[in-house]
Each structure stands twice: as C-alpha cells, then as structure tokens.
C-alpha cells in the first residue's frame, strides 16, 4: 500500500510517501512562502524523484486539523482534488495524532499541543508503548492552565510535550510538573511522515473516507462563545 501524506496545518509544509510502512521519501519546507505556492511543487517533485505515478497512490492522507485556518483548507482541498479523479480513499488525520505517530520511539505520554493564541491550545494525549500509539483523550481546545491540571493525573509517567504550543506550555507550567519534558526541536513538530503512519492505522481500522466526505476539522475554543465587541471609542 502506498500512502501520499501531506501536512500544511501550521507554518511548515511537508509531503511524504509511505510504501508498506516504509518511508520512500519526504519533503519538508519551513519558509515564509505560502502553502498554496509550495505544496504542489513539493508533491510533484516527490512523485517524480521517488518514481511514483499518482495512480500508484492507494490512500491520500492529510492533517485535516486542528491548525491554521488557511493551512488546513489548503491541505484538505488539495487531497480532495488529488483523490477525486480515481475515487481513491482519503484519511482525515488529526494533526495531534500525526505528532504522536511521528515519534513512537520510546515509552511515555505524548502531550500534543498547538498554540491557538491567547493562552489557549489544541491538545490531545497519547500513550506510546512498544512502538505503538494509544489515544488517551479526544482532540480538544482548552486553556494552558486547564491542560496543566489535566496533566496532574499522569504524574507517575514521563510526559513529552510536542507541537508548536509545547514551548509555551513548558514555560508556563513546566516547573510545576517535574515529569514533563520538552521534546527537541527536530522531532517536536508535526510532519507528513507521522500523518502517513496515522493514516496506515486508520486504513487498517477501516476509518478512511471518500473525497466528498473529507472536511477540515476545526475545534471551537471555549473563548469563542464570548462576544468580542468592545464598546466603540467615544467619538461622535
């Protein structure tokens, strides 16, 4: 089985081809150029250099969210388009799960966190054990403070912080949790390899969808309920 996986959920962009569980190739860019300009050239170059025809791809996978509003739309729209002509199955991978699948090299808890601004994060917990990934909590949006209290339940295990919210969390509550570790830069962020690995598991569990059904995943922040409108400034 060949999986083409892409990630555009935050500022970097990446694409990978996983062939029967083995990584054939992966491209990663972290420049300021927008994904709409870099993603297609990366996919094209990846297919070309790995000598893969688009028709050889069995599953198209994407980090469908949570993540940046525009990024998630670019990723899902691209996969929708690529999978549509031959009616190939798609995997709507959670960005947070992709992080956990990107690093199951030791035992412990992966706390995947993405910065949602204003001291709020998108987050989920996973347990890594013997090279497998077990999801412990659903993807959700919550405040950094709430996450800190949630982690108290795991004080007996090592908790690895991953994602672009990891540093923020570590700075905010790291000193209160001696078991919490900030993962090093080179493995901290979501990458298409993890997306492909997560998609492989989804395929085995029959959790793929068709092009039509693939949708961005947006999580609502608790703060979203609150109206923003401040009183307008005085001036007549």
Partner 1 sequence: MQKFLSHSQFQTEEIAERLAKTLHGTEVIAMFGGMGAGKTAFTRGLARGLGINDGVSSPTFALVHEYEGRFPLYHFDMYRIGSYDDLYSTGFFDYIENGVMLIEWSENIEPFLPENRISITINVLSEQEREITMEGAAEI
Which chain residues interact with partner 1 by CB under 8 A? 32, 68-71, 117-118, 218, 220-221, 223-224, 226-236
The least distance separating partner 1 from the CB of residue 224, rounded to whole angstroms, comes to: 4
| Pick 206 or 220: Cβ nearer partner 1 | 220
Q: Considering beta carbons, is residue 53 or 228 the nearer one to partner 1?
A: 228
Name the minimum Å distance from CB 195 to partner 1: 20
- Tell me whether residue 23 or residue 224 sits nearer to partner 1 (CB atom): 224
CB 183 to partner 1: min, Å: 23
- If the CB atoms of residues 89 and 216 are measured against partner 1, the closer one turns out to be 216
Residue 108's region, left for phi above 0, alpha for psi from -120 to 50, else beta, is left
Shortest Cβ 121–partner 1 spacing (Å): 13
CB-nearer residue toward partner 1: 26 or 164: 164
> Which of residues 164 and 200 has its CB atom nearest to partner 1 in the complex?
164
Provide, rounded to whole angstroms, the least separation between the CB of residue 225 and partner 1: 8
CB 220 → partner 1: shortest distance, Å?
Answer: 7
Chain centre distance of CA 174: 23
């Amino acid at each position: 089985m060949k999986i083409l996986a892409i990630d555009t959920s935050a500022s970097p962009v990446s694409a990978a081809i996983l062939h029967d569980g083995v990584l054939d190739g992966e491209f990663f860019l972290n420049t300021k150029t927008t994904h709409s300009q870099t993603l297609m050239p990366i996919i094209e170059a990846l297919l070309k250099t790995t000598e893969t025809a688009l028709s050889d791809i069995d599953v198209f996978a994407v980090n469908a969210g949570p993540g940046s509003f525009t990024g998630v739309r670019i990723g899902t729209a691209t996969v929708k388009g690529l999978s549509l002509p031959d009616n190939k199955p798609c995997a709507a991978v959670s960005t947070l799960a992709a992080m956990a699948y990107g690093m199951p090299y030791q035992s412990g808890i992966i706390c995947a966190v993405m910065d949602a601004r204003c001291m709020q994060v998108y987050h989920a917990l996973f347990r890594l054990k013997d090279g497998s990934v077990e999801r412990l909590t659903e993807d959700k949006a919550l405040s950094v403070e709430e996450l800190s209290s949630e982690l108290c339940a795991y004080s007996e295990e090592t908790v690895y912080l991953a994602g672009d919210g990891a540093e923020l969390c570590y700075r905010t509550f790291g000193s209160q949790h001696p078991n919490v570790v900030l993962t090093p830069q080179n493995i901290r962020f979501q990458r298409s390899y993890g997306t492909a690995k997560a998609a492989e598991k989804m395929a085995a569990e029959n959790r793929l969808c068709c092009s039509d059904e693939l949708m961005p995943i947006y999580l609502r922040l608790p703060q979203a309920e609150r109206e923003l409108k401040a009183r307008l400034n005085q001036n007549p």
